[in-house]
Amino acid sequence: MSDSEEEVPDAVVLEASTGSEQASHPNSAFAGAEEAVSVPVTLITGFLGAGKTTLVNYILTAKHGYRIAVILNEFGEDTGIESSLLPQVSKTAENFALEEWIELSNGCLCCSVKTEMVQALETLMQKRHKFDYILIETTGLADPGPVAAALWTDAELGSAVCLDSIVTVVDARNIRRQLAEDRPQGAVNEAQQQIAYADVILLNKTDLVAGTEALQEVHASLTAINAGAEINHTLHSQMDLARILNRGAFKPSQTSEDVSHLSLQLCGAQISSRGTRQDPGSMTRLDLPAACSRQDASSRADYENGMGSPQPHASPKVAAEQQPAKHTGGPKADGMRDMGLDGLESTSARSSATQSRPAHWQSHIHDSGVQTHTLHAQQPLCIERLRTWLDLILWEQALPAHQIYRMKGLLQIYGSPCCHVLQAVQELYDIVEGPRWDATVHGHSRVVVIGRNLQADMLQKGLTACEVSELSSA
């Protein structure tokens, strides 16, 4: 998949949030008033693989006059993959400099909200003069509620930062499956939560949904959960950034009439339950689970009735769909055993027990069946072998008990001086060449796999079987 097909929109000059002097200095939106004005924070959320990093990339490379600091929350034990997917933005680039980014690695942002995120923000604020806007990208499994609430109310942060809006990126191709997925008792469906909290929704990857009718049905699924959010249909997360940055969705003046009231209401419910914030006032508390469960039944039925097939150009995997012969015959049978695909019957379902949490956290218990594993390969990988393995496990679901949501990796491909980036969302995947390996960086391959019922040893065996040394010794 290539972002380059998309035309980057013209530069947008955003209105600064307060004061005429800010509007007249878009390159330094808060110049001269840094200490007095809190830094707006946009919280970017969305389910695994929806296009959050693509949006962050887009914001970081667009011209808008803001100097942006980024906080990334990586899901998994290995840091570095997420930030390596972000652009190496030149600090001298006109109108923009990425001054800082901080990568959080300690689990899920919504569960470490009082520690890592607050600390990260406090660290950032020591360099307050270097930026005037903050983006926080949550993991695909984060509940944005507690994060938003902490940003909005945290005494330690004081008025140094202010939550500007919650932006949720949605994968148009997969969202209804994600919404319909069963969760263990008591666990939330994160995809629903993320939509419910949104001020702005990017209904992204519209190229992977065939036909406007199918897209409208997906759109209606989102409206059924959150009628107040502004929904934009996007390709590669590109849209008018004036509708995202400095939106002011949480400004008190907009709480009563503005459509973004929904986020405030939901945060109000969170906040009051944590007892750290004033009464949310006249806001009506929404019954979020009930609102979401309406969607459950209909979206599952809709999904099972088919939500449209992908278009041929969407990805190598979509092309593969139209050439089923490619996947039949020898390679699969030959590859099964040494790619860790034998012994499938030993796969056992994981416990669906939910985590024990204080009562006020009950609204965001995670699905404990979702796991992350990081696979490693010390030797260069054979690209053809790797593709065959990915075809098998993602497309042909040769590990039927495994439910792989997301893969991303930095790969050392045999014969190439460059790193390669693997991206997979559900059954679609893509491998693109990245920059040359830095001489100081050990170029071994790392692949993060997120999903349910994963057996790390089987997956690791499959990746190891793609090492060139394995092939020559076989």
Ligand X SMILES: Nc1nc2c(ncn2[C@@H]2O[C@H](COP(=O)(O)OP(=O)(O)OP(=O)(O)O)[C@@H](O)[C@H]2O)c(=O)[nH]1
Which one of the spans 108-116, 245-253, 290-298, 422-430 is the region binding ligand X (CB under 6 A)? Answer: 422-430
Residue 136 or 314: the one with the smaller Cβ distance to ligand X is 314
> Under the criterion CB under 6 A, does residue 34 sit at the interface with ligand X?
no
Is residue 108 within 8 Å of 188, Cβ to Cβ? no
A 10 A CB-CB count for 466 gives: 28
> Under the criterion CB under 6 A, does residue 425 sit at the interface with ligand X?
yes
CB of 214 to ligand X, least distance (A): 15
Cα gap 319→172, rounded to integer Å: 18
CB of 239 to ligand X, least distance (A): 11
What is the Cβ-side half-sphere exposure of residue 138, based on CA atoms within 13 angstroms? 30
Instruction: Provide the CA 200 distance to its chain's centre, in angstroms.
Output: 15
> Under the criterion CB under 6 A, does residue 208 sit at the interface with ligand X?
yes
- Pairing between strand 418-425 and 428-436? antiparallel
Residues β-bridged to residue 421: 410, 432
CB of 315 to ligand X, least distance (A): 6
Applying the rule CB under 6 A, the residues between 217 and 276 that interact with ligand X are 235-237
Q: Token pair for residue 224?
A: 């059924």
> Under the criterion CB under 6 A, does residue 110 sit at the interface with ligand X?
no
Helical (H) or strand (E) element with 61 = helix 52-61
Amino acid in position 329: G
Cα gap 142→374, rounded to integer Å: 19
Torsion angle (degrees, nearest 10) of CA 266, 271, 277, 283: 30
Applying the rule CB under 6 A, the residues between 112 and 151 that interact with ligand X are 140
- Taking the CA atoms of 165, 169, 172 and 176 in sequence, report the sign of the dihedral they define: negative
For the chain, what's the residue count?
474
Number of residues that bind ligand X (CB under 6 A): 24
Residue 42 or 53: the one with the smaller Cβ distance to ligand X is 53
- Taking the CA atoms of 146, 151, 152 and 153 in sequence, report the sign of the dihedral they define: positive
> Under the criterion CB under 6 A, does residue 44 sit at the interface with ligand X?
no
Residue 52 or 219: the one with the smaller Cβ distance to ligand X is 52
> Under the criterion CB under 6 A, does residue 51 sit at the interface with ligand X?
yes
Residue 26 or 49: the one with the smaller Cβ distance to ligand X is 49
Q: Token pair for residue 219?
A: 């759109």
| 3-state secondary structure (DSSP) of residue 138 | coil
CB of 459 to ligand X, least distance (A): 17
Applying CB under 6 A, among 314, 393, 399, 463 the residue interacting with ligand X is 314
> Under the criterion CB under 6 A, does residue 46 sit at the interface with ligand X?
yes
CB of 175 to ligand X, least distance (A): 12
Applying CB under 6 A, among 430, 453, 470, 471 the residue interacting with ligand X is 430
Q: Which residues bind ligand X (CB under 6 A)?
A: 1, 46, 48-54, 140, 169, 204-205, 207-208, 235-237, 314, 406, 408, 423, 425, 430
